Amino acid sequence: MRVKIIQKTVLTFCLLALVGFSAPMLVHGAEDRQSTDSDFHIDKEGCLTSYTGSEEHVVIPEGVKRIGGNPDNSIFEDTETEIKSVVIPDSVIEIGERAFYTCLQLEEVTMGNGVKKIGQEAFAGCFKMKTIHLSDSLQEIGLRAFNFCESLEALELPSSLRNIEMEAFGNCISLKSLNIPDGVQAIPPGTFDRCSSMEELYIPSSVTKIGAGSKLMPQYVGERTGLEDCDNLTIYGAAGSAAEKYAQEKDITFVEDESMQSTVIPDSEEEELETQEEVEEEEEAIEEETDKDEEEKKESTQKTQSKTSVDRVQIVGLTVGAVGLVMILIAVVIQIIRNSRRK
């Protein structure tokens, strides 16, 4: 009977020792399990620099602020599979230079409403792209941004747009209709170079320069836009506007459209508003920085508390394990003594 009791006691303390020594390892195991998507390579500033996954339909993670920007390669250059569609989150502010350059199988892009700028040649060479949903906050389309998007038939430009750069839609041979938003002031040289299928172009009276007005290359004045070669083109614009004058000079059909009369805010008032917006943005940035500092302090405190809790668990576990081992040794010694006495 006593032997059985001793055996049970030894077994109990063995289990206690096992639990005690394994507790710290269990805690560490829980800490180390973190799920990360290694297909997206994002730098410390929130810029997506490359994608090495194998999905055809890519959803860029929320939190990315900028996509690409390296003129030497597209971020999808090293993908195992040619991508067919991309979803861009609201957190993205800028699509950088050559971000999607020559994505040959790309057919559809859905852009979040945070994007304000599409950089130089961002989508150039996307021959199969048929559909792109632009951001409602978009302000600038860069040099040759959609050059050679040969399958693009229609594009809705947002009312927020203010600047279109040279050759932005060059070689978009399937593009049939486009409405330039009120507020755009220039159609630079080569904007519609070789857009041979263009049939309808709506130009507001805010556009005062056609064939000039590039911010990157202001020296180009009175150059070709490419509209001269569109045989079936009709330009819609306000009476007496630059659009009407241009259509008459180039012998292009012009239709008066009162809706193309500009309602844009005058430059002086717009600059005042921009200054006010800049001040508000700075205040918001300061507030965000303060919130970020507080959040970091909170996270640091939580990590410290968590580490303290982990250390306590480790200490308790090791203590229990040590006590268990001592009790096992005591039980073994007692058993040895009793066996020797019986002999």
pLDDT tens across 296-310, in order? 666 666 655 655 555
pLDDT for 19 beyond 90: no
Report the pLDDT averaged over residues 169-189: 97
pLDDT for 250 beyond 50: yes
| Confidence at residue 297, expressed as pLDDT on a 0 to 100 scale | 64
pLDDT for 28 beyond 60: no
User: How many angstroms separate the CA atoms of 133 and 125, rounded?
Assistant: 18
* 314 CB-side CA count, 13 A: 11
Please report, as a single letter, which amino acid is at residue 251. D
Give the closest residue to 98 by CA, choosing from 131, 128, 66, 62: 66
Per-residue confidence at 5, pLDDT binned at 50, 70, 90?
low
Question: Tokens standing for 194?
Answer: 């070789």
| Confidence at residue 38, expressed as pLDDT on a 0 to 100 scale | 79
Which residue did the predictor score with more confidence, 338 or 316? 338
Question: Tokens standing for 287?
Answer: 């507030």
Length of the chain: 343
- Residues 140-165: tens digit of each pLDDT: 999 999 999 999 998 999 999 999 99
Measuring CA to CA, how many Å separate 214 from each of 191, 228, 327? 10, 19, 86
Domains within the chain, CATH numbers bracketed: 40-152 (3.80.10.10), 173-280 (no CATH)
Question: Tokens standing for 177?
Answer: 């209709």
SS (H, E, C) 314-331: HHHHHHHHHHHHHHHHHH
Per-residue confidence at 31, pLDDT binned at 50, 70, 90?
very low
Q: Is there a contact between 200 and 236 (Cβ–Cβ < 8 Å)? A: yes
User: How many angstroms separate the CA atoms of 23 and 123, rounded?
Assistant: 54
Per-residue confidence at 252, pLDDT binned at 50, 70, 90?
very high
| Confidence at residue 283, expressed as pLDDT on a 0 to 100 scale | 66
Q: Please state the pTM of the whole predicted model.
A: 0.68
pLDDT for 212 beyond 90: yes
